[in-house]
């Protein structure tokens, strides 16, 4: 399945879930609920994926964590904050570059309309 097809499923599931709950919950609640819904749709979901980091010989097995990885192709960074800052976009792009993934979604669930909180990011596409 292509990244665009996966993202369409993710966005649809996130919007449906957000209609049920709305804003105001912890990021972990949204992460678990979205992951549950995506698994129900037959997607391979990995949560809090530890990723290695290496710099000038310094090796860390768990240099950062990806909130949700879908079908080993799409990264989801989940937020539940008042306003996304430029650093949140930069963080997601850095995670894409370091992981070698091409496509990511930055989703801020603390919005009245979730469509305003969904942002697509790409790495070398």
Q: Domains of the chain by range and CATH?
A: 3-122 (3.40.1350)
Q: Give the contacts of 76 (CB within 8 A, at least 6 positions apart).
A: 10, 34, 66, 67, 68, 69, 70, 104, 105, 107
Tens of pLDDT, residues 17-49: 999 999 999 999 999 999 999 999 999 999 999
Question: Which of these, 109, 101, 65, lies nearest to 84 by C-alpha position?
Answer: 109
Question: Which of these, 98, 105, 108, lies nearest to 50 by C-alpha position?
Answer: 98
Task: Return averaged pLDDT per consecutive 10 residues of the chain, 125 residues in all.
Answer: 95 96 95 98 97 90 93 97 96 94 97 96 86
> Tokens 């990995």 belong to which residue?
46
> Tokens 């609920």 belong to which residue?
33
Q: Share the mean pLDDT of the chain.
A: 95
What is residue 125's predicted lDDT score, i.e. its pLDDT? 66
- The CA-atom distances, in angstroms, between 20 and each of 25, 37, 73, 91 are 12, 13, 27, 28
What percent of the chain stands above pLDDT 90? 88
- Which pTM does this prediction carry? 0.93
């Amino acid at each position: 399945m292509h990244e665009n097809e996966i993202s369409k499923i993710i966005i649809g599931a996130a919007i449906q879930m957000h209609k049920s709950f709305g804003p105001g919950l912890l990021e972990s609640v949204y992460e678990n609920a979205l992951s549950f819904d995506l698994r129900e749709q037959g997607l391979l979901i990995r949560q809090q994926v530890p990723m290695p980091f290496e710099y000038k010989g310094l090796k860390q097995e768990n240099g950062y964590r990806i909130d949700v990885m879908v079908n080993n192709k799409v990264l989801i960074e989940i937020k539940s904050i008042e306003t996304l800052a430029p650093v949140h976009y930069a963080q997601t792009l850095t995670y894409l570059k370091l992981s070698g993934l091409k496509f990511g979604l930055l989703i801020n669930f603390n919005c009245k309309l979730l469509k305003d909180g969904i942002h697509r990011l790409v790495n070398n596409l």
